[in-house]
Amino acid sequence: MIIHPGKTIGVLGGGQLGRMFAHAAERLGFRVHIYEPEANGPAGEVSAMEVNRPYTDLVSLKAFAHTVDVLTYEFENIPTEPLGEIGHHAQLRPHWSVLETCQNRMREKNWLRKNAFPHVPFAEVEAGDDLAAAIRRMGLPCVVKTADFGYDGKGQIKVADEASLAKALEAFSKQRCVIEKFIDFKCELSVIVARSSIGEVKAFPVAENIHTRHILDFSIVPARVNAAVLADAEKLALAIVEKLDVVGLLAIELFLTDRGELLVNELAPRPHNSGHWTLDACVTSQFEQHVRAVCGLPLGDVSVVSPVVMVNILGDAWKWDNGYLAGDANWEAILADPRAKLHLYGKKEPRLGRKMGHFTVTAATADAALDAARALKAKL
């Protein structure tokens, strides 16, 4: 079913991804309704309607579904049990089963293994099992991750020695976990693929990602790897989105190993932090593409307009004094640069480590854009 402009799109989740999605949808003539447990979030500020109720409130979810023509989500940590019920009242795209697979590291990695997609070697540990023995069987170094509710480095610890082993046991011994072999890699890459309800598929150019303290710091496009790696990454991403039967966006995060292998790290069935560069340096942004995909409209052109780097802005960019907020970041530095574009998310309270916005910098080459982005970040 095609959803035409003038109709209403419902979004589960009220964060910055929902905010940027709402901007894109409204430019195309859609109304956007937000369902989010907490009031006054970034997406609700820019939407036609916001409902603040728990995701487990099936009565409220059904009533919300009746106000929209199609539903999507911008956040993975949503209980999937109620979503199967509301599918009778509005189309949910991507399907709740996609979310169920991708929101849990154990299910996601088992899906990758079952379908023979290259992935990081892993072991599973149920709550209460001997986590220490499982870690030693995997061997050090390794990474211990909770099965549920992990993002931006939360819910994971690298184990390289007895001290970090003790820390992991204290944090995770009562939870279901995945233990991954630690991978030496050249770089981290991501591919965002759109697949529409009528089966049209397009992949955005591959991004090269640099993380700091497990949080995405820089995304670089075009990725500084050879053409064969770019082609293989896109081919792998397209195969995954088809096999998973996604309608909407799917972000595929990859490791490029020292031996030249591509290994899937994580999947995210929504717009992705590493795709924010598309707002300023692509013919079609990832958010507009998500609108087009879930509504069954023709997908947009994914050509890169210019080499670009995206930089996350965390709450750390504000001025702090002994842990207390002391002043704004130096926004003038970014706004004064004609190559830079500033995007702030409207969050009320900056906190250390919290994503508050991002900026992009365009240049003649990816390396020049990265140099300029690092210089601007230092001025913040």
What CATH class is the domain 121-181?
Answer: alpha beta
Residue 155 has pLDDT above 90, yes or no: no
pLDDT at 151: 64
Q: How far apart are CA 160 and CA 156, in angstroms?
A: 13
Cα gap 74→53, rounded to integer Å:
16
Instruction: Beginning with the edge strand found earlier in the chain, give each strand of the sheet holding 70-73 in spatial order.
Output: 49-51, 31-35, 8-12, 70-73, 91-92
Q: Read off the pLDDT of each residue in 186-215 and give the average, rounded to a whole number.
A: 96
Under the banding of pLDDT at 50, 70 and 90, the label for residue 229 is very high
Q: What is the pLDDT of residues 294-329, one digit of tens each?
A: 999 999 999 999 999 999 999 999 999 988 898 999
Q: How much of the chain, in percent, has pLDDT values that exceed 70? A: 98
* Residue pointed to by tokens 């490029």: 256
Q: Which CATH class is domain 185-379?
A: alpha beta
With a cut of 80, say whether residue 152 has pLDDT above it: no
pLDDT digits (tens, 9 = 90+) for 76-114: 989 999 998 887 888 999 999 999 999 999 999 999 999
Q: How confident is the model at residue 225 (pLDDT cuts 50, 70, 90)?
A: very high
Domain ranges for the chain: 8-92, 121-181, 185-379
Mean pLDDT value across the chain:
95
The pTM assigned to this predicted structure is: 0.95
Which CATH architecture is the domain 8-92 placed in? 3-Layer(aba) Sandwich (3.40)
Nearest of 266, 286, 302, 251 to residue 358 by alpha carbon: 286
C-beta pairs of 24-28 under 8 Å, 24+ apart in sequence: 24/285, 24/287, 24/288, 24/290, 24/291, 25/287, 25/291, 27/288, 28/288, 28/291
- Of 51-65, 84-98, 108-122, 332-346, minimum mean pLDDT range: 84-98
Taking only the tens place, the pLDDT of each residue in 246-292 is 999 999 999 999 999 999 999 999 999 999 999 999 999 999 999 99
94: preceding bond cis by omega (within 30 degrees):
yes
What CA–CA distance (Å, rounded) separates 377 from 311?
8
